[in-house]
Chains A and B, each alone.
Chain A
Amino acid sequence: MSSPQQSTSELKRAKGSPTKDFFVRMITRDITLVDCILDLLDNAIDGARRSIKRQGSALSGSGLAGYRANLTVGNERFVVDDNCGGISLTDAVEYAFHFGRRKDAPHDVDHSIGLYGIGMKRAIFKIGRKARIESRPPKESFAVEVDVAAWEQSDDDWDFDLSPLEGNEEIGTRIVINDLYPQIANSFADPTFVNELIRTMARDYAFVIDKGFSMSVNGTEVPRYEYRLKEGEDVTPAVVEYTDDGVNVRIVAGLMKELDADIPDELRLADTEAFGWYVVCNDRVVLAGDKSDLTVWGQQGFNVWHPQYRGFAGFVFFESDDPKKLPWTTTKREVDVSEPLYLRALARMKDVTSQFTAYTNQRKADPVEAKKAELAATSVSIASDLKTPRSMKLPKVEGKIPGEETVTVAYQRPRGQVKEIAESLGNFNMSAREVGIRTFEYYRKMELGKS
């Protein structure tokens, strides 16, 4: 507000700096709780990589063995505890508590997944009102107490106080968040949320866990999930690799699971979840089992995802020493579809996908033989076995001599009655379609004596 006493020269600048509560609300609004937690794990993984780089060892094979991050989530508090090198006092004073990555921040870790210098603060603001960060780097341990309400009181002072920490505990970082927001505490107390978190961690850090990094939630070890594709005499996944603007791009796509002989009417989500495209940036899965136009599906005239494709999986890996070059957004849960680097990759992803979708049409001529060939192939690991470029190979389907013309029989019956017959046929999960076929065949056999 201007006052009569103010001179015009004092009015030349309009205030543009945000209030802290507005800032806190905005940065926490568009990210899910799970993704906030993954941000903290990203920091731990970067810490491990930094620590390895400091020790001068190369990152390969089980390069992250021995490093771990343990989460404890509950109704009262959230804790993430790692042994990944800690934050050095200099980094803390100059960079780690700064909002946003400073231009002069040192580039001290290759293949980093920490992007914007916002993850830790955003996670704290999202989860609770009070936090304590204890960092124990090789020297000069310190602690930071964050009281969000007190910090929000002053709009001018954005800094946090550091205090020295004694003791000889293990090198690493420990973040404890207390005074949780009610909805957050509600989620943490719910075992289904905890299981969802474990499943998401297993899926999104599969390539990090594969390198030896271990994670746990409330004492449960996050399982090692190995993505595999089929390879054999008639089946080979496509592997394409190139460098684009300093980013190494690797595309691997093929058959994850044999296709169905026919497509069941009722498709369960759980069964189709694994199929589709995966986008992986510096070993971190950003999109998993995508069936939307964020990847190829329905993109500018390309086929939309169809249940006929279940069994297909494609992975595109972007790797760069400079994470800003990778096509992800701040939440690391979306890709920037306007990024030219990503658009160029999409064109190649479409090439391999269309080979596969064409095959799913061809195989209709003889699905039984095609399935035999698919089943004969074994599964190989994407992380370790599919490194060298190769073309996609899929079973050759020779059309059989056309048989008798077929018609489709469709009718509706009460769900309970169909379930009753399914149960009587020995499989209560049998699809309605299968029940229809079996009862038709039964009639032919019993009344007409034909099989």
Chain B
Amino acid sequence: MTASPSFQRVDYSLRTNKHIERRLVFDHLRRLQPTFPLSAYRYLGLGSMWFIDFAMAHRALGIENMWSIERPEGAGRAEFNKPYSCIEVKPGSVSSVLKAMRAEDWAKPTVAWLDYDGRFDEEVREDCERYLKRAKVGSVIALTVNAHRNSYRPGQGLEKVNSIKTLRDLIGDAVPADAASANADVSFDDFSGVLSKSILNFMSGAVRRSGRETEDLPDRFVPLFQLHHEDNAPMITIGGMVASWRQLTLLETIFETDATRLMAGEAAVKDSLDLIPITMKEKLALDRLLPCSPETLAQQIVEMGIKLEPEEAEKYRRLYTHFPVFAQTMI
């Protein structure tokens, strides 16, 4: 990877692409309403001190039962910072909270967003597996993990282990058979795609292997998210719904496709979000041109003297309705 010039580097605290990703996730979830009564669901997340996804789940989906898992040492501060009274801070790890859930807790359908900073490892795998096995049918999972290839290549120098081997050790046959040959590793650019596909396969396999059924017919996993975003490190957000056969037919109607295509990931929102930050002046100038075709935009930015690379302007054109505006205020 080549280092980008400093003006293209991201103010990490603002995280433009992460913000766009959240908007895409919640917009996609809204498509499930009103067929799936998400406002009666529980939202399970890792709200940290900011609770940004919680605010969106509350406002966009109307969810009023919310659990935020927080490390015990941060739980007090999180309790102070939580924006709504309906948020319950659960001290512990995801694993300990899931393990402590009683049958009546699992009985409530849930939207869980397990938004990790780190890589997909044994612990995350077990958290996902536990959730997919126990969650009420109709529940949704979104999982965010680091997708930097080096995070999956232990060792140093020439001793580095192939990233595909790391994945195969973790999730075996969920890794596509043709991901890479025995000795060669997958390329840096292709890795996040292979990782996304592998984890989605793993989720689908976890639902099947759990043997869970509704009305004597097997529950299925339907992929709903396959997103890649990059503010600093490359990250992926993947996930979907554990659906009963009745819910599968409802999803067929919502997404106007058949069950086979649903399970193959056709209903998943897919995007790669790596927009560079743009200034307020550039944003206002671009917005005045939008909506318009890619060709028109390419031509107009030259005429107006906007010094953005055409591909960056095109990314903005595609996602401008989701692009955040961050402002500094004195309070």
Interface residues of A (CB under 8 A from B): 74-76, 182-183, 186-187, 189-196, 198-199, 220, 223, 268, 270-271, 426-430
Contact = CB atoms under 8 A, between A and B. Distances in A.
B154 A190 contact: no
Nearest to A273: B172
Contact of B218 (A186, A192, A430): A186
B175 A187 contact: no
B54 to A, nearest CB: 26
A223 B177 CA distance: 9
A16 B176 CA distance: 49
A76 B260 CA distance: 7
B267 to A, nearest CB: 14
Contact of A199 (B154, B173, B263): B173
B208 interface: yes
Given A186-B208, A426-B155, A428-B154, A195 B169 contact: no
23 contacts: A182-B218, A189-B220, A189-B264, A190-B205, A191-B205, A192-B172, A192-B201, A192-B204, A192-B205, A193-B205, A195-B173, A195-B174, A195-B175, A195-B176, A195-B201, A196-B172, A220-B178, A270-B168, A270-B172, A271-B169, A427-B155, A428-B154, A429-B166
Nearest to A217: B177
B154 A187 contact: no
Contacts of B299: none
Contacts of B174: 191-192, 195
B40 to A, nearest CB: 28
A196 B175 CA distance: 10
B156 interface: yes
Nearest to B119: A428
Contacts of A182: 217-218, 245
Contacts of A429: 154-155, 161, 166
Interface string B191-213: 00000000001101100100000
Nearest to A225: B182
Contacts of B169: 268, 270-271
A194 to B, nearest CB: 8
A181 to B, nearest CB: 10
Interface in B152-188: 154-156, 161, 166, 168-169, 172-178
B29 to A, nearest CB: 23
A193 B166 CA distance: 20
Contacts of A193: 173, 205, 208
B259 interface: yes
Instruction: Pick the most buried of B204, B218, B264: most chain A CB atoms within 10 A of its CB.
Output: B218
Contacts of A271: 169
A190 B204 contact: yes
Size band of the interface chain B makes with A: 20 to 34
A198 B177 contact: yes
B115 to A, nearest CB: 19
A375 to B, nearest CB: 15
The 9 nearest A-B residue pairs measured at CB: A192-B205, A195-B173, A429-B154, A191-B201, A75-B260, A186-B218, A196-B173, A427-B154, A198-B177
Contacts of A194: 177
Contacts of A187: 208
Nearest to B221: A190
A74 B258 CA distance: 13
A187 B218 CA distance: 10
Contacts of B177: 194-195, 198-199, 220, 223
Contacts of A270: 168-169, 172
B260 A74 contact: yes
Contacts of B168: 270
Contacts of A220: 177-178
B155 A190 contact: no
Given A190-B205, A223-B177, 4 more contacts: A189-B264, A220-B178, A428-B154, A430-B154
A262 to B, nearest CB: 17
A192 B171 CA distance: 9
Contacts of A195: 173-177, 201
A426 B155 CA distance: 6
B157 to A, nearest CB: 9
Nearest to A426: B156
A430 B177 CA distance: 26
B218 to A, nearest CB: 4
B173 A192 contact: yes
B184 to A, nearest CB: 13
A426 to B, nearest CB: 5
Contacts of B220: 186, 189
A223 B182 CA distance: 11
A198 B175 CA distance: 12
Nearest to A200: B173
B200 to A, nearest CB: 8
Instruction: Pick the most buried of A189, A190, A193, A426: most chain B CB atoms within 10 A of its CB.
Output: A190
Contacts of A428: 121, 154
Nearest to A195: B173
B246 to A, nearest CB: 13
Contacts of A189: 204, 220, 260, 263-264
A22 B166 CA distance: 46
B217 A75 contact: no
B243 to A, nearest CB: 12
A187 B205 CA distance: 8
Given A182-B217, A183-B218, A270-B169, A191 B176 contact: yes
Contacts of A223: 177
B119 to A, nearest CB: 8
Contacts of B121: 428
Contacts of B201: 190-192, 195
Contacts of B178: 220
Contacts of A76: 260
A196 B245 CA distance: 25
B173 A75 contact: no
A427 B156 contact: yes
Instruction: Pick the most buried of B173, B202, B245: most chain A CB atoms within 10 A of its CB.
Output: B173
Nearest to A189: B263
B96 to A, nearest CB: 12
A192 B132 CA distance: 15
Interface in B266-303: none
A314 B173 CA distance: 25
